[in-house]
Amino acid sequence: MRSHWKKQVIVLSSPGRVSSKMQQLILPVLLASFWTICTGSGDWCYQSQFTCDHQCNAPDKWNHAQRDCGGNHQSPINIVTRKTLKDERLTPFEFNNYQQIFRDTIKNNGHSVKVGVPHLSTISGGGLPSTYKAVQFHMHWGNNGGPGSEHTIDGEQYPMELHIVHMKNEYTDLTTALSDPEGVAVLGFFYETSNSANRKYDPITNTLRSIKTTNSNTSLPSISLAQLIPAEQNLTSFYRYNGSLTTPGCNEAVIWTVFENTIPLSVDQLRVFSELQFHDGKPMVGNFRPVQPLNGRQVFRSGGAVILVSSTLLLAAIATALGLSQPN
Ligand SMILES: [Zn+2]
């Protein structure tokens, strides 16, 4: 690439031998070659990875190679809570075998850290059209505990987001499930910084140190899905919309659930994720896709999901109801 660029410069720098017509031709070629140099045609990447020296396809160019990434039902999105619609059909989930202890491999796949899950844990209810089984989970995060979630709530970006990917029970592989517009159900959970460490995450954070480089993997100590997420009784508040995978191919086959309750992790625990490396050895940080346009989609909320009202307003309302605000 660089030698190609040099050649173009040499031709231009000896204009005596080039006709003006040739010059008219050379300039666009030069611009085009510069464009190629700076945008490249390599693997897809996150915005945090893009520099002119590192040619990769940042999120705004994912649709060049994967047409679905330019679709109208893309994820993630910003959830504007006052525009969500309460839907009584969004009943609590039934989690089956989420307590099941399993051992699987944890892998740095160059974009995230991914853990395969034996297809034993299932979800149903929660307004889902069918039973879905867990396939894998992974996270998206920021820089050393800074903003890093994919979904945002009223513009707020959390430090990290967990995605537990499920597919319809009848499928045996994710590729087949992705060709069904309701083939995949992803549960999204936000993390929030806590003062004390969340010991239930020790098996994961302790293992991250041995998979710093891209494509490395190791076996994960025994864990269950249940230990990674809030207690079942705290999972009745969630948002629902139809969207896509948040990485290329961006298949629009995902029923999204984003839970209101967060998972606590200490800053030190969050920081360990930033020690992972992209394939070029740079810190794996900012591995989230920017929020995508809603394009008219409606976001629903479960009966449990509350729109936060200021406590002053709430107290005033209670006072009025009790007749306390009456001057008599
Ligand atoms: Zn994800």
What is the distance in A from the centroid of ligand 1 to the CA of 139? 6
Cα 213 to chain centroid, rounded:
21
What is the distance in A from the centroid of ligand 1 to the CA of 164? 8
98-122 pLDDT, tens digit each: 999 999 999 999 999 999 999 999 9
Compute the mean pLDDT over every residue in the chain, rounded to the nearest whole number: 87
Pairwise CA distance, residues 226 & 95, whole Å: 9
Q: Which two tokens stand for residue 64?
A: 């060049």
- Catalytic residue, chosen from 73, 111, 163, 166, is 111
What is the distance in A from the centroid of ligand 1 to the CA of 124? 20
DSSP 3-state of 65: helix
Give helix 2-12 / helix 20-39 axis angle, nearest 10°.
160
283-323 pLDDT, tens digit each: 999 999 999 999 999 999 998 766 655 555 555 655 666 55
163-179 pLDDT, tens digit each: 999 999 999 999 999 99
Q: Are the beta carbons of 269 and 208 closer than 8 angstroms?
A: no
pLDDT > 90 fraction of the chain, expressed in percent and rounded = 77
What is the distance in A from the centroid of ligand 1 to the CA of 63? 18
User: The domain 67-313 is classified under which CATH number: 3.10.20.740, 3.10.200.10, 3.40.50.2300, 3.40.50.1010?
Assistant: 3.10.200.10
What is the distance in A from the centroid of ligand 1 to the CA of 167? 14
Q: Give the per-residue pLDDT at 4.
A: 37
H/E segment holding residue 86: strand 85-86
Q: Give the per-residue pLDDT at 8.
A: 35
- What is this structure's pTM? 0.83
Pairwise CA distance, residues 194 & 188, whole Å: 19
Pairwise CA distance, residues 181 & 178, whole Å: 7
The answer to which of 45-54, 122-131, 134-143, 217-226 has the lowest mean pLDDT is 45-54
Mean pLDDT of 193-204: 98
DSSP 3-state of 142: coil
Please report, for the chain, the start and end positions of each structural domain, with discontinuous segments joined by +: 2-39, 67-313
Q: Which two tokens stand for residue 261?
A: 């309750």
Pairwise CA distance, residues 74 & 251, whole Å: 8
What is the distance in A from the centroid of ligand 1 to the CA of 26? 44
Pairwise CA distance, residues 217 & 108, whole Å: 6
What is the distance in A from the centroid of ligand 1 to the CA of 189? 10
Q: Are the beta carbons of 242 and 73 closer than 8 angstroms?
A: yes
What is the distance in A from the centroid of ligand 1 to the CA of 246? 6
**Residue 126 pLDDT greater than 70, yes or no:** yes
What is the distance in A from the centroid of ligand 1 to the CA of 138? 6
Active site residue 140: no
Cα 94 to chain centroid, rounded:
24
pLDDT > 70 fraction of the chain, expressed in percent and rounded = 80
Pairwise CA distance, residues 28 & 26, whole Å: 6
Q: Give the per-residue pLDDT at 42.
A: 54
What is the distance in A from the centroid of ligand 1 to the CA of 145? 17
What is the distance in A from the centroid of ligand 1 to the CA of 112? 8
The answer to which of 5-9, 136-140, 158-162, 256-260 has the lowest mean pLDDT is 5-9
By CB atoms closer than 10 A (0-12, 13-18, 19+), residue 92 is middle
Which residue intervals of the chain are DSSP H helices? 2-12, 20-39, 62-65, 174-177, 202-208, 267-273, 311-321
Prior bond to 327 cis, omega within 30?
Answer: no
Sort strands 184-194 and 160-168 into parallel, antiparallel or unpaired.
antiparallel
Q: Give the per-residue pLDDT at 158.
A: 98
